[in-house]
Structure 1
Amino acid sequence: MARVPRLVKALIKRMYNRDMKYNNIVIRLQKHGEKGITDIEIVVDNRFFCIIEAKKGWSLPTLDQLKKYRERFGGYKRTKRMFLVLSDCTEEYFNGNLKRSIRGVPIKSISWHDVIKTINYIYHEASNKEKYLLSELQKYLLEEVQMENKESNWVYVVSLSNKTPKWSKISWRDVINKKRLYFYPAEKNWPKIPLNYMGFRYDGKLQSIHYVKSYEIVADMHSRIPEIKRGKVKNHYLLYLGEPFEPRKELPIGKIWSNGRLKCMLDTLFTCKSLKDACAVSKKRLKD
């Protein structure tokens, strides 16, 4: 980042909502302190001090973590200090899950998506050397930080009930079949990064497979699916699905527990005799 001043200037403008004239910028990575290690520290003319916490996916730092770094702002005026969180989180999710300030230090958020947009915006004005560095940074962000793997052919298969929950006016199946959406809780037993494909099974067989076009974590699902009562489904992943496609032949489930969640490689769903066999073949490939 320090080798591309144009990008640093653009990000500082985003952070402070104004153009800033400065003579010197110091960027420190993995700065050690008595109470922990910060990811990035930016000091502008020894007047502005920003501590950046960089997170993968939709995770956010805890308040306890940020409190450890609070003492490092000593000597900087109240309006000249800031915590900045870099993550995949939308502004809506960030505002609903983290305070705006902590002990007088404002906490702001910029998504990795916005960083990539900033790179695209300044790219055409950059020098050839800067363009190379910007391209490499963008590639890293797309492949590593956001952990996207568009070439992956893994499918996450879930059981789908035809019931309508008490807190909803739309059934589980209609959410997928009519709205092309699927949601699940942001909990440890579910994928932190959705797989590229979702498979849905019911009535004893695999019914459809969908490409996951995009996703987000939604603070209140009512804001995206009005049929769901306000405040009943909070902090869930929402997947935007493509059109369904089906195996060429009927694929029975096999002997697996009724509501189990499974991972299979896409091609195995077209070549194996059952969903259970597809999972077994997929796991064997990983070991070979």
Structure 2
Amino acid sequence: MHTVFNLLGDKEDNITYSLGWALAQSDNLVQALLAEFFKVDPGMTAAIGLQDSVRGAGRTDIEVKTDQVHLIIEAKRGWELEDPTKLKKYTKRFKTDEALTPALAVVAECSLEWARPRLPKDIGGVPVEYMSWRKVVRLVEETAAQSGSHAEKRLLRELHRYLKGVMTVQNVQSNLVYVVPLANWPPLVTDGPTFADIVVKHNRYFHPVGGGSSGWPTTPPNYLGFRFDGQLQQIRHVDRYEVHEHPWDVLIPGIGAEQGWEPSPHFFYKLGKPIIPDHDVKTGGLYGPGRHWAAIDLLLTSKTVRAARDRTQKRLEAVGEE
């Protein structure tokens, strides 16, 4: 269902602006959000800033100031977390009013368990907090239920529907990663790329459109995982895709005829930035051309792809999705 927020779009900046605009309209939402990040009384809302640029202090997504606290929110779509060097720039803004209690908050789609070890506890004494979009959605829903004004309820319910629609984390299956093997040798043509190079160096991937007994998906996944050299190497978000009859010729002109590949419908993906596990994720005995589905959080925290796959299946069975 479309909402007024859908008119803005579903890009990262659009989502950030939607949340910021709702905060500017709903003091109840502001108070609920601040209560998650501050142990002190957050005080009365004084100002909401959206995507404000200050020379030497970066461009913030959302700033919330009250008469007691100052919060800067960096909002990200997907599992990518903000670089601490960028967060450090923001701390300069807190020096303009040192009487206020400061905090930095990162919002992204990953779980708290994944994000917390990858973010600093503080930067120059300013606490760095984390909240998942799942938690934001729940906070908006709870605030809407408790709000007294009909206009505020309507606004927050629309924001709730919008965020649920654009945040893949709300669907247990939309955070599944389709893990595929890649050949790291030999090159496809003399002095040319390998299949692994197409992903790693060119941020592209393609596979047949599924159907029948092929085993390939009939709907493009949100995430692709790539394994070679005996382990999961990286995960990529699918930024966009198209259906193409011979995507290989786009990457390496003429290779289709050289290899004898017949044109057929393929999903041709443009991949986002790599998400690299911070520990070795071995295959766990999954070899050859096998392709598997696994939840992204389980892939990034399990010791093997097999373990992540099996734990994912149990999770899906528990919620009645197989």
TM-score between the two structures when normalised by the length of structure 1 = 0.56
Partner residue, 1:221: 302
Aligned residues of 1:86 and 1:112 also touching (Cα < 8 A): yes
Partner residue, 2:47: 26
CA distance in structure 2 between the aligned counterparts of 1:194 and 1:148, rounded to whole angstroms: 18
Partner residue, 1:272: none
Partner residue, 1:71: 92
Aligned residue type for 2:39: N
Which of 224, 235, 243 lines up with 1:190 in the alignment? 235
**Is 1:137 paired with 2:152?**
no
Partner residue, 1:50: 71
Partner residue, 2:213: none
Superposed displacement of residue 220, structure 1:
3.9
Superposed displacement of residue 143, structure 1:
2.4
CA distance in structure 1 between the aligned counterparts of 2:288 and 2:310, rounded to whole angstroms: 24
Superposed displacement of residue 184, structure 1:
6.2
Aligned residue type for 1:190: I
Aligned residues of 1:60 and 1:87 also touching (Cα < 8 A): yes
CA distance in structure 2 between the aligned counterparts of 1:64 and 1:238, rounded to whole angstroms: 38
Superposed displacement of residue 192, structure 1:
2.2
Q: How many residues align?
A: 200
Query: Percent same amino acid at aligned positions?
Result: 29
Partner residue, 2:103: 82
CA distance in structure 2 between the aligned counterparts of 1:151 and 1:113, rounded to whole angstroms: 14
Change beyond 3 A, Cα 1:188–1:131 = farther
**Is 1:15 paired with 2:22?**
no
Superposed displacement of residue 30, structure 1:
0.6
Which blocks of at least 5 consecutive residues in structure 1 are unaligned?
A: 161-181, 196-200, 229-235, 244-288
CA distance in structure 2 between the aligned counterparts of 1:106 and 1:149, rounded to whole angstroms: 31
Aligned residues of 2:225 and 2:235 also touching (Cα < 8 A): no
Which of 116, 123, 136 lines up with 1:115 in the alignment? 136
CA distance in structure 2 between the aligned counterparts of 1:87 and 1:33, rounded to whole angstroms: 23
User: What secondary structure, in the 3-state scheme, does the structure 2 residue paired with 1:43 have?
Assistant: strand
Change beyond 3 A, Cα 1:217–1:133 = farther
Change beyond 3 A, Cα 1:193–1:12 = farther
Partner residue, 1:60: 81
Aligned residues of 1:112 and 1:146 also touching (Cα < 8 A): no
Aligned residue type for 1:63: P
CA distance in structure 2 between the aligned counterparts of 1:144 and 1:6, rounded to whole angstroms: 23
CA distance in structure 1 between the aligned counterparts of 2:88 and 2:292, rounded to whole angstroms: 45
CA distance in structure 2 between the aligned counterparts of 1:43 and 1:119, rounded to whole angstroms: 19
Partner residue, 1:270: none
Aligned residues of 1:28 and 1:42 also touching (Cα < 8 A): yes
Which of 13, 20, 27 lines up with 1:5 in the alignment? 27
Partner residue, 1:103: 124
Aligned residues of 1:2 and 1:27 also touching (Cα < 8 A): yes
1:94-130, Cα deviation, whole Å (9 max, x unpaired)? 2211110111111001111111111222222222211
TM-score between the two structures when normalised by the length of structure 2 = 0.51
1:114-171, Cα deviation, whole Å (9 max, x unpaired)? 111112222222222112111221122222244768999x9947359xxxxxxxxxxx
User: What secondary structure, in the 3-state scheme, does the structure 2 residue paired with 1:74 have?
Assistant: helix
Partner residue, 1:240: 312
Aligned residues of 1:60 and 1:85 also touching (Cα < 8 A): yes
Aligned residue type for 1:240: T
Which blocks of at least 5 consecutive residues in structure 2 are unaligned?
A: 1-22, 183-223, 241-285, 318-322
CA distance in structure 2 between the aligned counterparts of 1:219 and 1:151, rounded to whole angstroms: 16
For residues 137-216 of structure 1, the aligned pairs below 5 Å read 137-146=159-168, 156=178, 158-159=180-181, 190-192=235-237, 215-216=296-297
Tell me how large the CA RMSD over aligned residues is. 4.3
| Higher share of residues assigned helix | 2
